[in-house]
Chains A and B, each alone.
Chain A
Amino acid sequence: MHELSLLESIIDLVEEEHRKHPFQQVRMIRIKVGALAMAMPESLRFCFAIVAGGSIAHGARLEIEEVAGAGWCGRCCCSVVLTERYGPCPKCGNAPLHVTAGEELQLADIEVE
């Protein structure tokens, strides 16, 4: 639901970058979205053109690197895949696990000209 706000924040960061290092056009925006980060890549893609329109990022492509969730199970002493933030260890049922990946919500880089 808050994907629109996240996109507005991305455009804000791009515009901030534009003020620091002027460029004419943004060709591509690459972001990392973790599986546990409460943001849906599909919604981000769906809304992107609307939010980018009229900004320096108008016409840019959005590339999303989806990062899988992972957690550390102290009982099994190994890293396991997490599809739910407070889900149990799929091997031994231990919960909650220490989340080690999947919370990413990051603007990685932009291609400009």
Chain B
Amino acid sequence: MCTVCGCETHDHQARHDAGAIDFGAGLAAVHVAGWSQERTIRIERGILAKNDALARANRARLDAAGVLALNLMSSPGSGKTSLLVRLIQDCRSRRPLVVIEGDQQTSRDAERIRAAGAPAVQLNTGSGCHLDAHMIGHALDVLPLVPGSIVFIENVGNLVCPAAFDLGEAHKVVMLAVTEGEDKPLKYPNMFAAADLLLVNKTDLLPHLEFDMDACLAAARRVNPHMDILRVSARTGAGIEAFYDWIEARVRAS
């Protein structure tokens, strides 16, 4: 039985050894019918109560281990994995960096992270459009949680659903590529409102685009006046040092 969530019927344990966990196998549905008479039971609980409880457990576990976790979210293709690869190549000698990769299918991203020199576990969500706290609990079981290390959780590429699910991270980081359009924060406000940091990526492409950076930053500030904003290029490495400094400041503050 799973010691984190008590689950017994998932078969996602099977692939732990291969560095990948598959959550696409389906919904557990075990129950035993009891007896009773007709009645209404008042519950009044948040639908995400279970996820939130598991997220709190993850957060307590990460805090106790002295590990800072960042939940990295964006649309597909904005450069999350490329940014992590660049960060690992440039900064892994300073702190242990580990990665939890979320995708619907394949272990391609985890393989890229490992090739860059960091431990990684791949979570496959099957039909799922986001990572949840339950999955992260299992990923933490198989990753080395060395005090002082940073765990990057690369969420499934999606600007909608991941915003609703607390994973137990210390901070949410949202990424937006300049190829996507400057009005993304207004179109997907929940995601940008939930983030502590916005990374504007692919800035090396700016000379070739009509991207209005001021309009983008104004849109981001409108939905989240308190969010930090950094401009980066995973391809050239511009701004990566500032991102690393931002992380270091969060480590010191934690």
Q: Which residues of A contact B (CB under 8 A)?
A: 1-2, 4-6, 8-13, 15-18, 21-25, 27, 31, 38, 51, 54-56, 84-86, 95-96, 105-113
Contacts and interface: CB of A to CB of B under 8 A. Distances in A.
B48 A105 contact: yes
B86 to A, nearest CB: 29
B186 interface: yes
A13 B36 contact: no
B29 A54 contact: yes
A51 to B, nearest CB: 7
Interface string B146-163: 000000000000101101
B208 interface: no
Contact of A85 (B35, B38, B39, B193): B193
Contact of B47 (A15, A25, A107, A113): A107
B223 A13 contact: no
19 contacts: A1-B160, A2-B128, A2-B164, A4-B127, A5-B161, A6-B47, A8-B27, A9-B49, A17-B43, A22-B34, A31-B47, A38-B161, A38-B163, A86-B186, A105-B48, A106-B45, A107-B43, A110-B40, A112-B38
Nearest to B36: A23
B214 interface: no
Given A56-B33, A113-B37, 5 more contacts: A2-B164, A9-B50, A23-B39, A51-B27, A106-B46
Top-5 shortest CB links A-B: A22-B34, A113-B38, A2-B161, A23-B36, A54-B29
B190 A85 contact: yes
A105 B46 contact: yes
Interface of B: 27, 29, 31, 33-51, 127-130, 132, 158, 160-161, 163-165, 186, 189-190, 193, 222-223
B190 A18 contact: no
A96 B223 contact: yes
A39 to B, nearest CB: 8
Given A2-B130, A55-B31, A108 B193 contact: no
Contacts of B132: 5
Given A24-B34, A86-B186, A96-B222, A109 B47 contact: no
Contacts of A55: 29, 31
A112 B39 contact: yes
Nearest to A6: B47
A111 B189 CA distance: 36
A15 B130 contact: no
Contacts of A2: 128-130, 160-161, 164-165
A106 B160 contact: no
A15 B6 CA distance: 14
A41 to B, nearest CB: 13
Nearest to A113: B38
A26 to B, nearest CB: 9
B146 to A, nearest CB: 31
Contacts of A110: 40-41, 43
A113 B48 CA distance: 25
Contacts of B130: 2, 5
